[in-house]
Structure 1
Amino acid sequence: MRLVIARCSVDYAGRLAAHLPLATRLLMIKADGSLLVHSDGGSYKPLNWMSPPCTLAVAEPDADQASAGINEVWTVTQRKTQDRLIVSIHEILSDSSHDLGVDPGLVKDGVEAHLQQLLAEQIELLGDGHTLVRREYMTAIGPVDILARDDAGASVAVEMKRNAGIDAVEQLTRYLELMNRDPLLRPVQGVLAAQTFAPQARTLAEDRGIRCVVLDYDAMRGIESGHARLF
């Protein structure tokens, strides 16, 4: 991974246009080819980014760019869509590269991992006619917990959480955006499955067309509730 702290401006050109004015930012270039632009705020979410497959080209500035104080122009091109992320470098303050090795991936806690296993075995909880394709379906940005198909054969991407918050909706949204670019998968529906949902997460999910499914962990394990019953 290459980490560059630079004074730069950033322009996104393609299906949408966006501009980040000149400021000091962190540019993160990952081994998979992706480039992410971070500020010193906003938690984990980048200000802008380009997902793989993409290529990075570094060029000298033209006369007008040089007179504006630009020393390098980075152009990151998405190979499938031809969208471009153009980073105009005015000054590099720090530039370092690090070999992070092979990442073991996210280790889920016991309940969350067991929920995934149980839902894979009881995939009909998503709806009649649903079938399992596979667990841990790998994408360029990480594994989707479950890939399934509905009764019409359409792809369904399922993200599992014990307690689903807005971060879970954002995570699944990124998976769906990437998977819907694949002609063999699209259209891909999104399902967020959890034991509990934050109200804001449910509202955001429904606004984005993501279905929320409440999971009863005890029922899935075949454990009856402790409430007394007449029969």
Structure 2
Amino acid sequence: MRLVIARCSVDYVGKLTAHLPMAPRLVLIKADKSVSIHADDRAFKPLNWMNPPCTLKEEEGKWTVTHAKSGEQLILTIEEILHDSSHELGIDPGLQKDGVEAHLQELLAEHITTLGAGWKLIRREYPTAIGPVDILCRDDASTTVAIEIKRRGEIDGVEQLTRYLELLNRDPLLAPVKGIFAAQEIKPQARVLAADRGIGCVTLDYDALRGIERDGTLF
């Protein structure tokens, strides 16, 4: 991972345009080539970003990040670089889910037809180079579907599933691979981002999956 603190302005040029005026900002350049721009607030959420696959071209006073498929660009006009360092983080062991998330995964895998008649489980914890996909399955049309499960669905979960889909769609034996973001509660911002990425959202009822009686009926 490369960390750059620079006084810069940022312009996003593509389907939408956005401008960040000149100010000190943190630029994160990850091993997967993604680039994100951060301020000293807003918690984990970047001000703007470019997902892989993309390339970074560095010129004097100007950095241009170009998405390999869409051609959209993130253009940084740099007035001054205050810090520039690189660090090798290695392979991340992945997020350890809490008991509820782990149980949701187990229950949904066991009852995969909850998502539709004819759906079939391929595997839980399907391995990838950046961590395991919670559930990999096929829908009633035999299309591969990757499912990311959270107790509380937020933007970072959608980003995580997006990275998995990028990798899985490179495998000709699996592609095309669709994504489903499943959680007990999904934040509105996460739904918007998921829709923009072509990812479906499913709200999970933990009690129903456990077979608890509701209104005189059983799941």
Q: Calculate the TM-score normalised by the size of structure 2.
A: 0.75
Q: Is the 8 A contact 2:92 2:131 kept in 1?
A: no
Superimposed CA distance per residue, residues 148-202 of structure 1 (whole angstroms, 9 cap, x where no aligned partner):
333234454433233x2xxx1424543566649959336x3534233xx37xx37
2:204 pairs with 1:213: yes
Query: Aligned-pair distance for 1:17?
Result: 1.5
Residue 17 of structure 1 corresponds to which residue in structure 2? 17
Q: For the structure 1 residues 73 and 139, does the alpha-carbon distance in structure 2 shift closer, same or farther, using more than 3 Å as the test?
A: farther
| Partner of residue 105, structure 1 | 94
> Which residue of structure 2 lines up, in the alignment, with residue 82 of structure 1?
71
SS at match of 1:52: coil
TM-score by length of 1: 0.72
1:146 aligned partner: 135
**Aligned CA distance change for structure 1 residues 11 and 138 (closer, same or farther; 3 Å):** farther
Number of matched pairs: 202
Structure 2 equivalent of residue 37 of structure 1: 37
Match of 2:155 in 1: 170
- Matched-pair identity in %: 52
Alpha carbons of structure 1 residues 180 and 53: separation in structure 2 relative to 1, 3 Å: closer
The residue aligned with 1:229 is: none
Task: Tell me if the contact between 1:137 and 1:147 (Cα under 8 Å) persists in the aligned partners.
Answer: yes
The one-letter code matched in structure 1 to 2:3 is: L
The question of whether the paired residues in 2 share the 8 Å contact of 1:112 and 1:161 is answered with yes
Q: CA RMSD in A?
A: 3.2
Which structure would you say has the larger Rg? 1
Query: Which residue pairs with 2:8 in the alignment?
Result: 8
Asked if structure 1 preserves the Cα contact closer than 8 Å seen for 2:124 and 2:136, the reply is yes
Alignment of 1:55-70 (within 5 A): 55-60=55-60
Structure 1 unaligned segments of length 5 or more: list them. Answer: 61-71, 226-231
Residue among 109, 119, 141 paired with 2:108: 119
2-structure distance, mates of 1:139, 1:84: 28
